A and B are shown apart, each in its own frame.
Chain A
Amino acid sequence: MTFLAIDAWWWPFVFILVAGWLATDGWRFLGVYLGGKMSEESDILVFVRCIATALVAAVIANLLVFPGGALADSPLALRIAAAAVSFGTYLAARKNILLGILAGEAVLLTGLYLL
């Protein structure tokens, strides 16, 4: 039962509703219901944040190593180098996200147009 498993217009929307809406608003509604019963500092939340961070990091690494579409034609070394420059610039610019993104994109585009 993958995203493309059923060839009907409604199936992707059902997939998004269950895997997207239910899996996010479920937590938000639980948050309203629990009210003040949960603390931001509790140890279980450190665990929760660790798993969420590792999961999103895994998606990012997969997008860089096994990209789809137009990025798939670029060399892996260029993508890694651009990502590294982006992260380095972000740290050097005192955690400025926009500068980090611009630097990485500049490296990627330069590489793509030169190669």
Chain B
Amino acid sequence: MNRHGSPEATDREGRAVWFLRGVWRSFSIPGLVLVSAFIGFAGLAREAGLTLAQTVFMTGIVWALPAKVVLVGAVLSGNSLPAATFAVALSSVRLAPMVVALTPELRTEKTRPWVLYFLSHFVAVTSWVLAMESLRRVPRDMRTVYYAGLGSTLVLVNMAVVAVVFLVASRLPPQMSAALFFLTPVYFLTSLWGSARERAGHVAMVLGLAAGPVFHVLLPGFDLLAAGVIGGGLAYAWHRAQRRREFVG
């Protein structure tokens, strides 16, 4: 028994414990891979001409790394605000179904809506995978607290990582700066392949890799949108054709 006795105190302590367990959960292999990706992102943003404040702000406010890489890519390509917004939005639609899958796991009948809207900001691939894995071992009424601990730690740690890399990067020799910049493309080259749910995802990745540089030359300013819509559209057409063939024979 708890020596404070009153149910409120027990509840408060339970919440603190589960918050800390969420914090602790973020220190994991996926969390480590994410930190390495943010080290690379900081190098990328710095080379793209963003300031420390802009990059840390972007890390906290956008959070999802693919969206940020597309955003910095749009800045580098000199895209206008509407084109950049559209490209980032297209790259981030998948956040909606991820939140749809996570919300029922977090919610109890008493959960207030603003809590769910607030927590949804922490949804990005890593926190989502970690949460979907561990939530079923968390008591239902402690799940929002647990996810708040997990999500906020990942965001805050990586904001700090970005700031530190930004400060250190100016003192690196050029070879190391180049290696830092190179981290982002190689991270996504591998993680994007692994995250594909169906074969069409691999087709979309290969088509996007080819279409990016082509449209960079042909359609400057709209290169990302064109590559995404055309490459992704063709991959989807392939997916449909493939399935029809399965149905026929």
A interface vs B, CB < 8 Å? 1-5, 12-13, 15-32, 34-40, 45-71, 73-74, 79, 82-83, 86-87, 90, 95, 97-98, 100-101, 104-105, 108-109, 112-113
Contacts and interface: CB of A to CB of B under 8 A. Distances in A.
Contacts, number: 341
A111 B215 CA distance: 29
Contacts of A73: 174, 178
Given A56-B70, A98-B33, 10 more contacts: A12-B54, A15-B84, A16-B61, A27-B96, A35-B103, A45-B94, A50-B235, A56-B208, A69-B48, A95-B193
B18 to A, nearest CB: 21
20 contacts: A12-B54, A20-B88, A21-B61, A30-B96, A31-B100, A36-B104, A47-B232, A49-B198, A51-B231, A53-B208, A58-B227, A62-B223, A65-B213, A70-B177, A86-B186, A87-B190, A97-B190, A100-B189, A101-B183, A112-B175
B1 interface: no
Interface of B: 32-33, 36, 44, 46-48, 50-51, 54, 57-58, 61-64, 66-71, 73-82, 84-104, 113, 116-117, 120-121, 123, 174-194, 196-198, 200-201, 203-213, 215-216, 223-225, 227-233, 235-236, 239
Given A24-B67, A58-B224, A83-B186, A29 B87 contact: no
Q: Is the interface of B mostly helix, strand, loop or mixed?
A: helix
A95 B194 contact: yes
Contacts of B75: 2-3, 15
A19 B83 CA distance: 9
A113 B174 CA distance: 10
